[in-house]
Amino acid sequence: MQPPWLYCSDLQTGTLTLPEAQARHARLSLRLRPGDAVVLFDGRGRTARAAIAADEPAAAGAKPAARRRGRAGGPIIAVEAISDIPAPARTLTIIVGGCKGTRLDWMVEKCTELGVTGLIFAGFERSVVRVGSGHLEKLRRLCIEACKQCGRAWLPEISAVSALDQAIAQVAGAVLLLADLSPTAEPLATALQRHSCSPRIVAVVGPEGGLTEKEHSLLRDCGAQPVRLAQHVLRVETAAVALAAGFAAIQPPPAHPPAAR
């Protein structure tokens, strides 16, 4: 059985204390005790083999990483070795409209588990839900929890912009796909295989009300290629996850991480 993963943005060898939220998860949910093995990750490709060393953060030698930010510490962690996991060679960014409540949370969680490298929440002309800066902190916390669950070393990048053209400007140079219901649209699997040598894929999922003619025109001018995801109409979050699953299915298995330093 693999040891549980915990998030720590300040990885270093030696001993350190966990941030409060991670400490609470370790103690109450995972019921970890001194001697139990864990994996720490910083969301930027660095992971560490570690173990719970003590219950009290005041033990001698601990570096209070969490206290430096003004938060209470947690169990002392003894870090044995740190490894660098390479960033993904191929990336998928999804430009998507917001959706309501728990549906948005579910989309972010599942896209993270499936390896999406970026989510750009755009305000479309027919958007009902617009994701703003107030949403992003919560969504980033969901990404951390999803990475812990699935053993992912790199957190996805999440941002929000007010309009589609701003989102497209951020991904200039990438292969651009558009989720489309048209029966003449190329199947997603075929399009992804055709672009299997392209390092950057960007897919657009419009809002629940659909794209306006102005937005369709913008995407055509940018060379967006329509792709078909399914036989039936999909919700916004389902379409995003379908794109993520299609992309994940054709990725090669991960290489073994480099030796710990």
Q: pLDDT band for position 18 (50/70/90)?
A: confident
Stretch 57-79: mean pLDDT: 56
Task: Give the CA-trace dihedral at 71, 77, 82, 87, to 10 degrees.
Answer: -50
pLDDT digits (tens, 9 = 90+) for 179-196: 998 889 999 999 999 999
Q: Which of 126-135, 136-145, 246-255 has the highest mean pLDDT?
A: 136-145
The answer to whether residues 148 and 241 belong to one domain is yes
**Which position has the higher pLDDT, 117 or 129?**
117
> Looking at the predicted structure, is the pLDDT value of residue 69 above 70?
no
* CATH number of the domain that residue 24 is part of: 2.40.240.20
Q: Which class for 221: exposed (0-12), middle (13-18), buried (19 or more C-beta within 10 A)?
A: exposed
The pLDDT of residue 55: 63
Q: Is residue 61 part of a domain?
A: yes
The residue out of 24, 59, 84 marking a domain boundary is 84
Q: Is residue 254 part of a domain?
A: no
Parallel/antiparallel/unpaired status of strands 200-205 and 91-96:
parallel
Give the integer Cα–Cα distance in Å for 52 and 68.
20
Q: What percent of the chain has pLDDT over 70?
A: 89
The answer to whether residues 39 and 135 belong to one domain is no
What is the domain extent for residue 234?
Answer: 91-249
> Looking at the predicted structure, is the pLDDT value of residue 56 above 60?
no
Q: Is residue 226 part of a domain?
A: yes
The answer to whether residues 103 and 207 belong to one domain is yes
Q: Is residue 256 part of a domain?
A: no
Tell me the two tokens of residue 39: 């994996």
Any bridge partners for residue 202, and if so which? Answer: 93, 176
Q: Is residue 260 part of a domain?
A: no
pLDDT digits (tens, 9 = 90+) for 198-218: 999 999 999 999 999 999 999
* CATH number of the domain that residue 117 is part of: 3.40.1280.10
Q: How far is CA 74 from CA 61, 186, 225, in A?
A: 14, 52, 50
**Which position has the higher pLDDT, 31 or 223?**
223
The answer to whether residues 153 and 222 belong to one domain is yes
Tell me the two tokens of residue 66: 């969490």
The answer to whether residues 138 and 79 belong to one domain is no
Q: Is residue 119 part of a domain?
A: yes
> Looking at the predicted structure, is the pLDDT value of residue 135 above 80?
yes
The answer to whether residues 65 and 161 belong to one domain is no
